[in-house]
Structure 1
Amino acid sequence: MQLVSSDWVLFYNSQDPLGKKTRAYAESSSHKLNTQDLSFANLSSTTLRVILDSLGLSAKDLMNKAHPFYQSQLRGKEYDEEGWLNVLKKNSFLIKYPIVFKKGRVYLCSTPNDIFKNLN
Protein backbone atom coordinates (compact mmCIF):
# COMPACT_ATOMS: atom_id res chain seq x y z
CA MET A 1 0.00 0.00 0.00
CA GLN A 2 1.34 3.39 -0.96
CA LEU A 3 0.80 6.10 1.62
CA VAL A 4 -0.17 9.38 0.01
CA SER A 5 0.00 12.50 2.15
CA SER A 6 -3.69 13.29 1.54
CA ASP A 7 -4.89 9.81 2.58
CA TRP A 8 -6.31 9.01 6.00
CA VAL A 9 -5.56 5.40 6.89
CA LEU A 10 -6.33 3.39 10.02
CA PHE A 11 -4.18 0.30 10.57
CA TYR A 12 -5.85 -1.89 13.19
CA ASN A 13 -6.27 -5.51 14.29
CA SER A 14 -9.88 -6.73 14.19
CA GLN A 15 -8.97 -9.61 16.52
CA ASP A 16 -8.07 -7.15 19.28
CA PRO A 17 -10.76 -5.34 21.34
CA LEU A 18 -8.87 -2.05 21.12
CA GLY A 19 -8.66 -2.38 17.34
CA LYS A 20 -12.37 -3.20 17.02
CA LYS A 21 -13.43 -0.25 19.17
CA THR A 22 -11.07 2.16 17.45
CA ARG A 23 -12.41 1.18 14.03
CA ALA A 24 -16.00 1.54 15.25
CA TYR A 25 -15.24 5.00 16.62
CA ALA A 26 -13.53 5.94 13.35
CA GLU A 27 -16.53 4.78 11.32
CA SER A 28 -18.85 6.84 13.51
CA SER A 29 -16.98 10.01 12.54
CA SER A 30 -17.76 12.00 9.43
CA HIS A 31 -14.25 11.44 8.04
CA LYS A 32 -13.60 9.07 5.16
CA LEU A 33 -10.98 6.64 6.30
CA ASN A 34 -9.22 3.80 4.52
CA THR A 35 -9.07 0.93 7.04
CA GLN A 36 -6.46 -1.82 6.88
CA ASP A 37 -7.03 -4.87 9.08
CA LEU A 38 -3.64 -6.15 10.21
CA SER A 39 -5.05 -9.56 11.12
CA PHE A 40 -5.46 -10.21 7.37
CA ALA A 41 -2.90 -7.95 5.68
CA ASN A 42 0.74 -7.37 6.48
CA LEU A 43 2.51 -4.06 6.13
CA SER A 44 5.41 -3.59 3.74
CA SER A 45 8.90 -2.81 5.00
CA THR A 46 8.61 0.69 3.55
CA THR A 47 5.30 1.39 5.31
CA LEU A 48 6.68 0.05 8.58
CA ARG A 49 9.79 2.22 8.27
CA VAL A 50 7.66 5.33 7.63
CA ILE A 51 5.55 4.52 10.71
CA LEU A 52 8.53 3.77 12.95
CA ASP A 53 10.53 6.79 11.80
CA SER A 54 7.53 9.10 12.27
CA LEU A 55 6.88 7.77 15.77
CA GLY A 56 10.55 7.60 16.74
CA LEU A 57 10.14 3.97 17.82
CA SER A 58 11.98 0.74 17.15
CA ALA A 59 10.15 -2.24 15.66
CA LYS A 60 10.31 -4.09 18.99
CA ASP A 61 8.82 -1.07 20.81
CA LEU A 62 5.74 -1.27 18.58
CA MET A 63 5.07 -4.95 19.37
CA ASN A 64 2.42 -6.26 21.73
CA LYS A 65 4.63 -8.35 23.97
CA ALA A 66 1.58 -9.74 25.80
CA HIS A 67 0.24 -11.35 22.60
CA PRO A 68 0.29 -15.18 22.80
CA PHE A 69 2.29 -15.45 19.55
CA TYR A 70 4.98 -13.14 20.91
CA GLN A 71 5.07 -15.05 24.20
CA SER A 72 5.36 -18.47 22.57
CA GLN A 73 7.55 -17.67 19.56
CA LEU A 74 9.55 -14.51 20.23
CA ARG A 75 9.97 -13.94 23.95
CA GLY A 76 13.61 -14.04 24.95
CA LYS A 77 14.89 -13.90 21.38
CA GLU A 78 17.33 -11.21 20.31
CA TYR A 79 17.28 -9.70 16.84
CA ASP A 80 18.77 -6.55 15.41
CA GLU A 81 16.40 -3.80 14.21
CA GLU A 82 16.17 -5.32 10.73
CA GLY A 83 15.24 -8.68 12.27
CA TRP A 84 12.48 -7.16 14.40
CA LEU A 85 11.27 -5.24 11.35
CA ASN A 86 10.99 -8.52 9.43
CA VAL A 87 9.08 -10.09 12.33
CA LEU A 88 6.59 -7.19 12.25
CA LYS A 89 6.38 -7.32 8.46
CA LYS A 90 5.36 -10.99 8.54
CA ASN A 91 3.22 -10.66 11.70
CA SER A 92 1.65 -7.19 11.52
CA PHE A 93 -1.07 -8.34 13.93
CA LEU A 94 1.58 -7.95 16.66
CA ILE A 95 1.42 -4.15 16.42
CA LYS A 96 0.39 -2.99 19.88
CA TYR A 97 -1.96 -0.11 19.03
CA PRO A 98 -4.05 1.01 16.07
CA ILE A 99 -2.20 3.53 13.94
CA VAL A 100 -3.62 6.50 12.06
CA PHE A 101 -1.80 7.89 9.06
CA LYS A 102 -3.17 11.35 8.37
CA LYS A 103 -1.83 13.91 5.92
CA GLY A 104 1.73 12.67 6.19
CA ARG A 105 1.68 12.27 9.98
CA VAL A 106 1.46 9.09 12.05
CA TYR A 107 -0.39 8.68 15.36
CA LEU A 108 -0.82 5.80 17.80
CA CYS A 109 -4.26 5.22 19.28
CA SER A 110 -3.66 3.79 22.75
CA THR A 111 -7.38 4.25 23.51
CA PRO A 112 -10.35 4.24 21.10
CA ASN A 113 -10.99 7.92 21.91
CA ASP A 114 -7.57 8.80 20.52
CA ILE A 115 -9.03 8.38 17.04
CA PHE A 116 -11.07 11.55 17.56
CA LYS A 117 -8.03 13.53 18.68
CA ASN A 118 -6.18 12.40 15.58
CA LEU A 119 -8.98 12.85 13.06
CA ASN A 120 -9.67 16.45 14.00
Structure 2
Amino acid sequence: MPTNRILVLGGGIAGIEAALALANMGYKVTLVEKSPAIGGKMAMLDKTFPTLDCSICIEGPLISDVARHPNIELLAPAELMDLTGSPGDYRARILVKPRYVTDDCTKCG
Protein backbone atom coordinates (compact mmCIF):
# COMPACT_ATOMS: atom_id res chain seq x y z
CA MET A 1 0.00 0.00 0.00
CA PRO A 2 1.79 3.19 -1.15
CA THR A 3 1.96 5.92 1.45
CA ASN A 4 3.75 8.61 -0.57
CA ARG A 5 6.59 8.58 1.99
CA ILE A 6 10.08 8.97 0.58
CA LEU A 7 13.39 7.99 2.18
CA VAL A 8 16.37 10.24 1.44
CA LEU A 9 19.76 8.87 2.48
CA GLY A 10 22.45 11.42 3.28
CA GLY A 11 22.12 14.86 4.79
CA GLY A 12 24.64 16.66 2.62
CA ILE A 13 23.63 19.51 0.32
CA ALA A 14 22.17 17.10 -2.29
CA GLY A 15 20.11 15.22 0.31
CA ILE A 16 18.91 18.48 1.86
CA GLU A 17 17.86 19.87 -1.53
CA ALA A 18 16.12 16.60 -2.49
CA ALA A 19 14.26 16.38 0.84
CA LEU A 20 13.08 20.00 0.62
CA ALA A 21 11.98 19.70 -3.02
CA LEU A 22 9.98 16.54 -2.30
CA ALA A 23 8.50 17.91 0.94
CA ASN A 24 7.42 21.09 -0.86
CA MET A 25 5.58 18.88 -3.39
CA GLY A 26 3.58 17.41 -0.53
CA TYR A 27 5.44 14.15 0.05
CA LYS A 28 6.31 12.97 3.56
CA VAL A 29 10.11 12.65 3.65
CA THR A 30 12.38 10.81 6.05
CA LEU A 31 15.93 12.19 5.84
CA VAL A 32 18.55 9.80 7.27
CA GLU A 33 22.05 11.09 8.09
CA LYS A 34 24.81 8.95 9.65
CA SER A 35 26.51 11.84 11.48
CA PRO A 36 24.88 13.81 14.32
CA ALA A 37 24.27 16.86 12.11
CA ILE A 38 23.27 17.50 8.52
CA GLY A 39 25.32 19.66 6.16
CA GLY A 40 27.94 17.27 4.85
CA LYS A 41 31.22 18.48 3.37
CA MET A 42 29.76 21.81 2.27
CA ALA A 43 29.32 22.81 5.92
CA MET A 44 33.11 22.56 6.33
CA LEU A 45 33.96 24.80 3.38
CA ASP A 46 34.59 28.51 3.59
CA LYS A 47 33.55 29.36 0.03
CA THR A 48 31.94 27.63 -2.94
CA PHE A 49 33.20 27.35 -6.50
CA PRO A 50 32.96 29.16 -8.90
CA THR A 51 31.24 32.16 -7.28
CA LEU A 52 33.20 32.09 -4.00
CA ASP A 53 29.95 32.59 -2.10
CA CYS A 54 29.94 31.88 1.63
CA SER A 55 29.07 28.17 2.06
CA ILE A 56 27.16 28.50 5.31
CA CYS A 57 25.28 31.50 3.90
CA ILE A 58 23.87 29.14 1.25
CA GLU A 59 23.44 26.00 3.34
CA GLY A 60 22.42 27.53 6.70
CA PRO A 61 18.94 28.62 5.62
CA LEU A 62 18.36 25.22 3.95
CA ILE A 63 19.31 23.38 7.16
CA SER A 64 16.88 25.58 9.05
CA ASP A 65 14.16 24.88 6.48
CA VAL A 66 14.67 21.11 6.92
CA ALA A 67 14.37 21.41 10.71
CA ARG A 68 11.11 23.37 10.46
CA HIS A 69 9.40 21.63 7.55
CA PRO A 70 6.29 19.74 8.67
CA ASN A 71 6.74 17.09 5.94
CA ILE A 72 10.34 16.21 6.87
CA GLU A 73 11.35 13.78 9.59
CA LEU A 74 15.09 14.05 10.28
CA LEU A 75 16.85 11.01 11.73
CA ALA A 76 20.43 11.77 12.77
CA PRO A 77 22.61 10.03 13.71
CA ALA A 78 21.04 7.03 12.01
CA GLU A 79 21.84 4.27 9.51
CA LEU A 80 19.87 2.28 6.98
CA MET A 81 20.14 -1.33 8.15
CA ASP A 82 17.91 -3.09 5.63
CA LEU A 83 15.78 -2.31 2.59
CA THR A 84 13.32 -4.84 1.22
CA GLY A 85 10.36 -4.80 -1.12
CA SER A 86 9.66 -3.68 -4.65
CA PRO A 87 9.12 -0.33 -6.39
CA GLY A 88 6.33 1.53 -4.65
CA ASP A 89 6.33 -0.81 -1.66
CA TYR A 90 9.71 -0.73 0.07
CA ARG A 91 10.29 -1.39 3.76
CA ALA A 92 13.29 0.22 5.44
CA ARG A 93 14.83 -0.72 8.77
CA ILE A 94 16.69 2.24 10.25
CA LEU A 95 18.92 2.22 13.33
CA VAL A 96 18.63 5.55 15.14
CA LYS A 97 21.65 6.06 17.37
CA PRO A 98 21.29 7.85 20.73
CA ARG A 99 22.36 11.47 21.01
CA TYR A 100 22.67 11.32 24.81
CA VAL A 101 22.91 8.66 27.52
CA THR A 102 19.10 8.70 27.79
CA ASP A 103 16.43 10.55 25.83
CA ASP A 104 15.73 12.68 28.95
CA CYS A 105 19.34 13.93 29.11
CA THR A 106 19.96 17.31 27.45
CA LYS A 107 23.47 17.95 28.83
CA CYS A 108 22.02 20.50 31.26
CA GLY A 109 24.71 20.25 33.86
Q: Which TM-score bucket, shorter chain as reference?
A: 0.3 to 0.5
Q: Which structure ranks higher in relative contact order (CA pairs < 8 Å, sequence separation ≥ 6)?
A: 1
* Superposition TM-score, scaled by structure 2 size: 0.34
Of structures 1 and 2, the larger Rg is shown by 2
More strand by share: 2
More helix by share: 1
